[in-house]
Each structure stands twice: as C-alpha cells, then as structure tokens.
Amino acid sequence: MTTAKEETILELKNVKKYFPIRSGFFQRKVGDVKAVDGVSFSLKKGETLGIVGESGCGKSTAGRTMIRLYKPTEGQILFKGQDISSLSEESLRKSVRKNIQMVFQDPFASLNPRKTLRSIIKEPFNTHHMYSMKERNEKVEELLARVGLHPSFANRYPHEFSGGQRQRIGIARALTLNPELIIADEPVSALDVSIQAQVINLMEELQEEFNLTYLFISHDLSVVRHISDRVGVMYLGKMMELTDKHELYDNPLHPYTQALLSSVPVTRKKGAVKRERIVLKGELPSPANPPKGCVFHTRCPAAKAICKEQIPEFKEAAPNHFVACHLYG
C-alpha cells in the first residue's frame, strides 16, 4: 500500500456538472439533471482515493468531469495547481491529457474492435508524435508484458480476449503516455471475483512501480476498502463523507454511510463483525428533482426538521474526517 504524500495533484473546488433537460418543439430548457452538485476534495500524489455510492449518485460523472471529458458547469478543477476547468480541447491535449488517463468499466466497449492491440496501444504515441516506429512497437510489447500479456498478442484483436485480459489491455493503453493520475471507473465490476483480485493486484503493483495516483470509482465497498487510502461517499451528486478508509469503515459518521456499511461484514483482527442492518426506506430521488435541504432527508432515519430546509455544510467533524450532516456541529 502506498503512503499518501503531501503534494496535492488534483483539487476540486465546488465542482458542479448539470445536464440540461429540454422539452417541447423548441427544445426549451425546463430544468437540469444535477449529476454532480458542489463537490470539493483534494487528492495527494501517490494515494488512492476511492469514491463509492449507489448507481446514479454522480460518481462516474464526477470522474469524467475531472478528466475534462465533460466541462464543469461551475467550480474549479486544479491539476498540479493549474485550473483546467475551462481549458480548450487543444490546451487540454497539450498540457493535461498525457498526465491524466482513464480506465473504463467495460474495456470491450472502449477498445476499437477493428484494430489490433498494437494499433490501439500505440495510438497515443501517434497523436503526440512520440518515438520512432520501431520504438513504438517495442513500447507496445513492453507494456503488454508489464500487464501480464504475451507480447505476441500485439497482433490480435480485442474480441480474442477474455474480460480480464481486455481490462489488462485497457490498463496498458492508459499507461502508454506515462500518466501521473489514473481515474478508474468501476474497473473490475464486470469481472468475476477471482479475476477482480488479479486486476486489483496488478493495479497496486503498477502504482508502486510508476508512482501513480488513483481515483478509484466503484459501487463495491469491499473492493474500495481493499485498494484505497481514503474513501469518499457520494449521494445524489454530493459528497457526504470523506476520510481515511480505516476511520470510515470503523467509525462512519454520516447516516447514509452507516446504512451502506451495515450490509458489509467488518473484518477485524478478532474476526468478522456484522453491524446491525439499516434498511433505507424509499428510492433514490431523481437528480432532476433533488429534495430541498439535505438531499438524503427523504430516506434518513435520523432526519430532523432542519434537514428539510437547510443544506448541511461539508465540514471537518473530526481530524481529517469530513461529513455533510446537521448531526455534527
């Protein structure tokens, strides 16, 4: 496990990503889907920050906004101190794209079926005019070997590989330009459990070897617990809680985190401990029409009158333990 260092590599300040809802013949805007709604946190070089939450909580949109696949509606994204939130595509390509890469959930969908692994993996070299033809081919074979695939596979096509192998190809492609930060969006959730462990182990080895920083997005609390240094919990586009993983899993403060973790056995030295199960009432509200006040109040077992009116601030309730809830302060 890496030790989080002090240098901040990525910082989000009140980042919002809204998608307009349009209706009628003139496609007038009638509202917004608030996929990410005021998220702030920072990521230290060399650490792994896990982001968890139910499907539809905005974690994938947040990841895509950080890498600027989406332009934020509001807020700042600082990569190594540079505000990249409003950079043009050309400036992003020159200054940021090499340093931040993404690994997707479905590697097959992100690999062009008509291209060999060689052309898929060396494509970024072509785009950035790096290396001679011979060196590019050598680099592709080195990368394949490094992710546990035989270099001779370079001339094969994506459909010839299993899900786990395809994810290794996706990781090799992400490493091509020697990035500093990798945003991994549900990278193992489409894989069998035994294959998941292999891919996670590979990601940990690569992190050590290449001094990578990971933002690891997943709905799977056990996987996130294994790989992360710190964990953030998202609900309906907002960050609800963020702290060191041991603190989060042993002492969750936010009622939503407590409910999520209540279904997961907690492994301590003495063995597995099961918390009392907290079953949340109702469905996840729509991000097109989020509840007023605390967005979790419609399902929260601890909701008070103030929760329906006032949005709780995301603040430090204990050292390095941030939470957005009126129960704390």
Q: Residue numbers of the site for ligand SF4 (CB under 6 A)? A: 254-255, 294, 296-297, 300, 302-304, 307, 312, 325-327
Comparing CB distances to ligand SF4, the nearer of 187 and 290 is 290
Residue 275, φ and ψ in degrees, nearest 5: -80, 160
State which residue, 57 or 182, has the beta carbon closest to ligand SF4.
57
Contact 265, 225 (CB under 8 A): no
Tokens at residue 90, please?
A: 């050309």
Residue 328 Cβ vs ligand SF4, minimum distance, rounded to whole Å: 8
- Which residue do the tokens 């790096």 mark? 130
Q: Which is nearer to ligand SF4, 93 or 304 (by Cβ)?
A: 304
* Nearest-approach distance from CB 254 to ligand SF4, in angstroms: 6
Least Å distance, CB 249 to ligand SF4, is 18
Residue closest to 11 by CA, chosen among 39, 37, 30: 39
In whole angstroms, how close is the CB of 308 to ligand SF4 at the nearest point? 8
Asked if 224 and 52 touch (Cβ cutoff 8 Å), the reply is yes
Backbone angles phi, psi at 211, to 5 degrees: 50, 50
Q: How far is the CB of 326 from ligand SF4 (least distance, A)?
A: 4
Structure tokens at 235: 């609900």
CB of 294 to ligand SF4, least distance (A): 3
Q: Which is nearer to ligand SF4, 58 or 170 (CB)?
A: 58
CA distance 77 to 72: 9
Q: Tell me the C-alpha distance between 303 and 255, whole Å.
A: 9
115 or 315: CB nearest ligand SF4: 315
CB atoms within 10 A of CB 106: 16
Tokens 């001094």 sit at which residue?
A: 211
What is the nearest approach in angstroms of ligand SF4 to the Cβ of residue 235? 9
Q: Which is nearer to ligand SF4, 221 or 294 (CB)?
A: 294
Helix (H) or strand (E) holding 175: helix 163-175
Contact 172/149 with Cβ under 8 angstroms? Answer: yes
In angstroms, rounded to a whole number, what is the distance separating the alpha carbons of residues 219 and 181?
Answer: 21
CB of 302 to ligand SF4, least distance (A): 4
Q: What is the CA radius of gyration of the chain?
A: 21
Token pair 């994810």 is found at: 167
Rank residues 46 and 53 by Cβ distance to ligand SF4 and give the closer one. Answer: 53
Based on CB atoms, which residue is closest to ligand SF4, 321 or 326?
326
CA separation, residue 208 to residues 3, 8, 176, 213, 293 (Å): 10, 18, 17, 10, 42
